[in-house]
Amino acid sequence: KAGVTQTPRYLIKTRGQQVTLSCSPISGHRSVSWYQQTPGQGLQFLFEYFSETQRNKGNFPGRFSGRQFSNSRSEMNVSTLELGDSALYLCASSLDWQGATEAFFGQGTRLTVV
Amino acid sequence: DQQVKQNSPSLSVQEGRISILNCDYTNSMFDYFLWYKKYPAEGPTFLISISSIKDKNEDGRFTVFLNKSAKHLSLHIVPSQPGDSAVYFCAGYGQNFVFGPGTRLSVLP
């Protein structure tokens, strides 16, 4: 059974640009969540999607947005990139909404903003 | 405000001995708690969880203890193995996962 797949693995962007990250959950999983990992802040919750609807949102500015498609694949978009957006972005999938089961994480996309 | 705290950024233990990783939380609304392990260049991997109504859960070499009155949980690894060397994240779940900053465990041969 394939795991959670995130693309691309590495990305370098300049300030002011926008970026789109992709996450393909484990087959059959309907919940996808996104997290930002930085050395100082650890893992911080961005948002969760379940059956194409945003279920929950963390404390991030509106520049961070996402969506989920009918096949459960999810994309995360960051507009007007800032240097502080440099981080590892992790996607996690669960069978059901995340309260019911543990989450399986992808390897992440390392975004560097220069 | 950090809802989940892991006050030890790192821990070194001799192979075969017990590793104890600690976690404190402030949010009383968490329904359950989880421990994840993370190797470099990989996503976190689920280890073990405990419901907020339990005080202990065991899975092989891993045992998690929950003390609700102290808002404290701990992960015990016995015996520790070099392959256990990784960063361990404690997480609480209420409406979403809230992770601690992690503790880097080094198991020395």
Chain centroid offset of residue B63 CA: 10
Q: Provide the β-strand partners of residue B5.
A: B24
A27-44 pLDDT tens trace: 999 999 999 998 777 788
Cα–Cα distance list, B88 to A22, A70, B11, B29, B48 (Å): 26, 34, 10, 22, 11
Query: A98: which chain B residues are within 8 Å (Cβ-Cβ)?
Result: 93, 96-97
Chain centroid offset of residue A66 CA: 8
pLDDT of the residue at A43: 85
Cross-chain CB nearest to B102 (options A4, A33, A42): A42
Q: In angstroms, rounded to a whole number, what is the distance separating the alpha carbons of residues A100 and B59?
A: 19
Which amino acid is present at B109? P
Could you tell me which residue, B41 or A89, shows the higher pLDDT? A89
Phi then psi dihedrals of residue A83, to 5 deg: -55, -35
Query: A4: which chain B residues are within 8 Å (Cβ-Cβ)?
Result: 43
Cα–Cα distance list, A6 to A23, B34, B43, B93 (Å): 5, 23, 10, 23
Chain centroid offset of residue B30 CA: 15
Are A25 and A73 within 8 A, CB to CB? yes
Contact assignment for B96 to A35 by CB distance below 8 Å = no
Q: What is the pLDDT along chain A (114 residues), one digit of tens a residue?
A: 579 999 999 999 999 999 999 999 999 999 999 999 987 777 888 999 999 999 888 889 999 999 999 999 999 999 999 999 999 999 999 887 655 567 889 999 999 999
Contact assignment for B44 to A105 by CB distance below 8 Å = yes
Query: A96: which chain B residues are within 8 Å (Cβ-Cβ)?
Result: none
B49-96 pLDDT tens trace: 999 999 999 999 999 999 999 999 999 999 999 999 999 999 998 877
pLDDT of the residue at B107: 97
Query: B91: which chain A residues are within 8 Å (Cβ-Cβ)?
Result: 43
Contact assignment for A98 to B96 by CB distance below 8 Å = yes
